[in-house]
Structure 1
């Protein structure tokens, strides 16, 4: 037997050899320093525990960012992050780090700071509302405000209400501001509206009605009307479309009624419109109708002569469209929302997609002489946007909105309704500057 038994164990490895060669009286070894050089790039053994290996991800670890023990600190309104081995901040919603000082976190409330409105460095002339400069809430605590109309006499809109009771209304706000006035209170689900010189015409759950702009008695119109999705008024007559009965929507149509007809007079069908009629617009000689269709891209645009003997067969101008809706006539052309974009055409010409493939689906349209404006009805990140009539110069006028829906414009402002913010009376009517 060898004089030193440890020599016989040499072949079992350096670890046993080291143990055998240590003096019996030596103290046990203490903890060793982290061995980052033995770890894959971007990792380190920061706790010195070989059992869990190289446990620290130096590129992303808030506790060891770039090196062992380099802890990232958060701040007011911010969460600490480690990105590519460097400490950074993730600001809470509605906040920003505008001074570049991580020590005080994300110090700015961009929803209300007029020096940093919506983003760092955006300065308002007056106030900051919801990240939009110089906007103002004209009316609050509204019950699902939806469709808007505007002319020289004021701003008009419908509050749809909850549907559990006739708690909707048709509202008016004078051009100079002040308190909104309920022209037609206690209505059941009022929706689309149209204006002429004297009255506001609107659809509700049971049909159509009219109320004088100056206030007065509400007159019920057109017996047997249901499911109205759009209406227009011109040349002494009211025109509207009814979507029909789901799921096929085969019994929808285009209807009219002279404005001088007795209340409750029978409506006149101008044309049967299959496939969920969704929009109506007028020019001097024709009525135009969009139908959404029942599939992904089977919508269509129809035309009916105003003087055609009813009921007539409509001309199909365009087909294979993606959910066409919100039809309007502007400056000799027809405009509409189609799919995720905005399109236009003149009678007898091809459809032209002016603003295609938007990241958010448009809800309603409004126009001035130079631009088209629209809302995108989303829960928390809805927007009010516009573009030139040729599709260029896309601009965002307000963002981070709760279900913006109706929209109207005048010479200096854009008006929009916020339909819903989590409760039955949380809607609002807002005015903001159009910008240059």
Structure 2
């Protein structure tokens, strides 16, 4: 892996401000009567991939570009373009960190300016904390300070598919590979050290998703697409708990207060009615439908103070939102 630390490479892909072609957005209604509003639809033939949101706005990736809208989905515009496959992303108060899948990790300001390459070669997922950026590649789990002064190897982990961080650890969910279909949930000290198992390995169907794991102050949460379950376990390890089962290919999740939001893509050969976005209490309980049905195509998911947003990973699709 080649890290770009001493010399910052400024990318020729920023400064765009293209207005989306479907503003005002398209509207329908979810099971609870909340409007389902789709924006940034039909901009081009690329898919919509990762998404994050906070009080400053909503940010998402299309295959070749990075976009932003105001909270609530208004005034979408392109921040940057020129990617091969802009896939996963993370953010802090000032910047976005975008993975151009299997190629490079890019940092840019939230207005799209100041883009630099942090690392290159086989990058897959990224997470950030106050001082560092964490990412995975085929070579394992790595950390770089935000000043990009060095890149450190934290652990050699094969098939790392999702990562999350807390004050002391990096949490990893592996997705298996063609030779090993074991999905593992582990953690590694931020300073480096032994890999600690949180939950026993499970059999997974090899796939490439990236937002299957999250962490809060007490527990780790993850989805198992093959088993159709939403799981949690204590961060220090312990008996896993099934929060929801019989789910139709759960692929991404995000946390919000007392709840977990999960996207469902429907099983191969299953009913398209199983597609959707659901809300599950962290302590377990009834599953609530945010949006369900054959018209829903959901991939990654994010929340802000008032809305739930999800991407579709379908050519020409947009971002859809609903009230919480």
* TM-score, L = length of structure 2: 0.69
What residue in structure 2 maps to residue 328 of structure 1?
Answer: 254
| 1:218 maps onto 2:151 in alignment | yes
CA contact (8 A) 2:264 2:299 kept: no
What residue in structure 1 maps to residue 231 of structure 2?
Answer: 302
What residue in structure 2 maps to residue 192 of structure 1?
Answer: 125
Aligned counterparts, 1:242-257, within 5 A: 242-245=174-177, 249=181, 251-257=182-188
The answer for unaligned runs of 5 or more in structure 1 is: 1-112, 123-128, 162-167, 390-436
- Please state whether the residue corresponding to 2:318 is helix, strand or coil: strand
What residue in structure 1 maps to residue 243 of structure 2?
Answer: 317
| 1:387 maps onto 2:299 in alignment | no
| 1:366 maps onto 2:294 in alignment | no
| 1:349 maps onto 2:285 in alignment | yes
What residue in structure 2 maps to residue 174 of structure 1?
Answer: 109
| 1:337 maps onto 2:263 in alignment | yes
Separation in structure 2 between the aligned mates of residue 275 and residue 323 of structure 1, nearest angstrom: 14
| 1:156 maps onto 2:97 in alignment | yes
The structure whose RCO (Cα within 8 Å, separation 6+) is larger is 2
Distance change in 2, residues 1:273/1:359 (3 Å): farther
What residue in structure 1 maps to residue 161 of structure 2?
Answer: 229
What residue in structure 2 maps to residue 405 of structure 1?
Answer: none
For the aligned residue pairs, the C-alpha RMSD in angstroms reads 3.0
* 1:272 aligns with one of 182, 194, 200: 200
Separation in structure 1 between the aligned mates of residue 253 and residue 145 of structure 2, nearest angstrom: 25
Of the structure 1 ranges 171-180 and 334-343, higher mean CA displacement relative to structure 2 is found in 171-180
Q: Which has the larger radius of gyration?
A: 1
CA contact (8 A) 2:264 2:277 kept: yes
- Please state whether the residue corresponding to 1:226 is helix, strand or coil: coil
Structure with greater helix percent: 1
Q: How many residues align?
A: 249
What residue in structure 2 maps to residue 394 of structure 1?
Answer: none
Superposed CA deviations along residues 202-253 of structure 1, whole A, max 9, x for unmatched, are 1212211112223221212212x1111211101211101112345983x221
The answer for unaligned runs of 5 or more in structure 2 is: 1-17, 27-41, 45-68, 266-274
Separation in structure 1 between the aligned mates of residue 111 and residue 246 of structure 2, nearest angstrom: 45
Separation in structure 1 between the aligned mates of residue 306 and residue 166 of structure 2, nearest angstrom: 24
